[in-house]
């Protein structure tokens, strides 16, 4: 197992008020009280300061601002020893309706952060997705590996792929101390109600029938967001510079199986949902081979019982209605306009 090679003391976490970023900030606050975190977040519709509320003010500070703002980065970045870059426009359906903010934040924003990391000579870790690799056939025996070619399908995944390529080039051309991780689909608390699992759960809590795209056969590889956080920490502190690591927890499941599991955990009949129009270009299957991360850094997922993780997630939404309720109506209205 690799030794710790970098001991961060003062990190910038972009997008730390979003779903996965805020879970990472909470994980660092719990497990590394010696590390100060500056969250840089624009607070778009997907960012919520409540996601990091209650953490010690001496350890976690929020700066509200845009990663595309180079002058702001010159104010925020000096004095930090690493940038962990989560901020993104992250929802595929939104990227199909309006790709512009995806190109701005995901491509231009990443470029500005890379330049800032270069200017101040600091470590940079880039959060990305398995969707950059395109999709696999449902019956294909293989999984994604780090050196697979990029074949993104949607405006979202193509902007993430573009940002990954910028990072690779900055590491090679400018010697930036960068690493990249591409993770599979996350679930857990604080995920926006537009995403698959929270949408189904909150629909049931609201008395609305869940909605399933297409045939429901599409396969996603689910990982609990806490396992993702620990993997990112391991890569930041022990990963080899210039490398790409894939993060996944052997969690392949079809969308219809996940929905049936939710229905069953919430005491609903198995057919209590509606079929809706499929997303254009909908990827069939994602599957991650995490061998490199496991072998080199000794990482293993802890949340290996999906039904248990899902039950805890459902319970979180049941007990945090005031967190998700304000976004629910507008989200469902947007889906209804798209026939979904
Ligand atoms: N959700 C998943 O399953 C998944 C899987 C793999 C990788 N990822 C990647 O993880 C990262 C976080 O995803 P998420 O699901 O938590 O997203 P999210 O949409 O929940 O959060 C994104 C956060 O970024 C902030 N943000 C957006 N534009 C910004 C800008 N220009 N400047 C500063 N802040 C800005 C938002 O306010 C929000 O807080 C993304 O890079 C995403 O591509 C997500």
CATH number for 228: 3.40.50.720
| Partners of residue 178 on adjacent β-strands | 124
Count, in order, helices (H) and strands (E) of the chain.
Answer: 12, 12
Residue 327: inside a domain: no
Is residue 301 within 8 Å of residue 249, measured between CB atoms?
yes
Please give the tally of structural domains in the chain.
Answer: 1
Rg (CA), the chain: 19
| pTM for the predicted model, two decimal places | 0.98
Coil/strand/helix, residue 311: helix
The answer, yes or no, to whether any atom of ligand 1 lies below 6 A from the CB of 254, is: no
What average pLDDT does the chain have?
A: 97
Within a domain: residue 320? no
Atom index in ligand 1 nearest the CA of residue 51 equals 39
For residue 48, how far is its CA from the centre of ligand 1 (angstroms)?
12
Inside any domain, residue 212: no
For residue 252, which phi and psi values (nearest 5 degrees)? -65, 130
Residues 6+ apart with CB under 8 A from 101: 44, 89
- Whether the pLDDT of residue 140 is over 80: the answer is yes
Confidence band of 332 (pLDDT split at 50, 70, 90): very high
182 lines ligand 1 (CB under 6 A): no
Look up the domain containing 120 and give its range: 10-192+223-251+287-303
Tens digit of pLDDT for each residue in 277-314?
Answer: 888 889 999 999 999 999 999 999 999 999 999 999 99
Is residue 316 a part of any domain in this protein? no
79 lies in a domain? yes
Does any ligand 1 atom lie closer than 6 A to the CB of residue 95? Answer: no
Asked if residue 140 belongs to a domain, the reply is yes
Q: How much distance in Å is there from the Cα of 47 to the middle of ligand 1?
A: 8
Q: Residue 274 domain-assigned?
A: no
Q: Answer whether residue 243 is part of any domain.
A: yes
CA–CA distance, 277 with 66 (Å, rounded to integer): 34
Q: Is 265 in the pocket of ligand 1 (CB under 6 A)?
A: no
DSSP-assigned states of every residue in 321-338: HHHHHHHHHHHHHHHHHT
**Among candidate residues 34, 17, 130, 37, the one with its CA nearest the CA of residue 79:** 37
């Amino acid at each position: 197992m690799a030794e710790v090679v970098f001991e961060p003391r003062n990190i910038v976490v972009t997008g730390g008020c979003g779903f996965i970023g805020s879970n990472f900030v909470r994980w660092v606050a719990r497990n590394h009280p010696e590390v100060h975190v500056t969250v840089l977040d624009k607070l778009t519709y997907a960012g919520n300061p409540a996601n990091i509320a209650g953490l010690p003010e001496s350890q976690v500070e929020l700066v509200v601002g845009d990663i595309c703002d180079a002058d702001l980065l010159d104010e925020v970045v000096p004095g930090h020893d690493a940038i962990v870059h989560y901020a993104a426009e992250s929802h595929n359906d939104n990227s199909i309706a309006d790709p512009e903010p995806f190109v701005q934040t995901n491509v231009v924003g990443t470029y500005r952060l890379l330049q800032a990391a270069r200017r101040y000579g600091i470590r940079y870790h880039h959060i990305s997705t398995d969707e950059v690799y395109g999709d696999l056939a449902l019956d294909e025996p293989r999984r994604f590996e780090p050196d697979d070619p990029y074949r993104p399908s949607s405006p979202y995944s193509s902007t993430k792929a573009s940002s990954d390529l910028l990072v690779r080039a900055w590491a090679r051309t400018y010697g930036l101390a960068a690493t990249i991780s591409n993770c599979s689909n996350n679930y857990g608390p604080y995920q926006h109600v537009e995403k698959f699992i929270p949408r189904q759960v909150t629909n049931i809590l609201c008395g609305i029938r869940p909605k399933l795209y297409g045939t429901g056969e599409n396969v996603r590889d689910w990982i609990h967001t806490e396992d993702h956080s620990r993997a990112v920490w391991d890569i930041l502190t022990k990963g080899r510079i210039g490398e790409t690591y894939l993060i996944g927890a052997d969690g392949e499941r079809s969308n219809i199986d996940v929905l049936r599991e939710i229905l069953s955990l919430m005491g609903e009949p198995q057919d209590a949902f509606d079929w809706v129009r499929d997303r254009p270009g909908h990827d069939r299957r994602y599957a991650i081979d995490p061998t490199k991360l496991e072998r080199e850094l000794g990482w293993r997922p802890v949340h290996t019982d999906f039904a248990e993780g899902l039950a805890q997630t459902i319970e979180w939404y049941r007990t945090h209605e005031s967190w998700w309720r304000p976004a629910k109506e507008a989200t469902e209205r947007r889906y209804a306009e798209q026939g979904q």
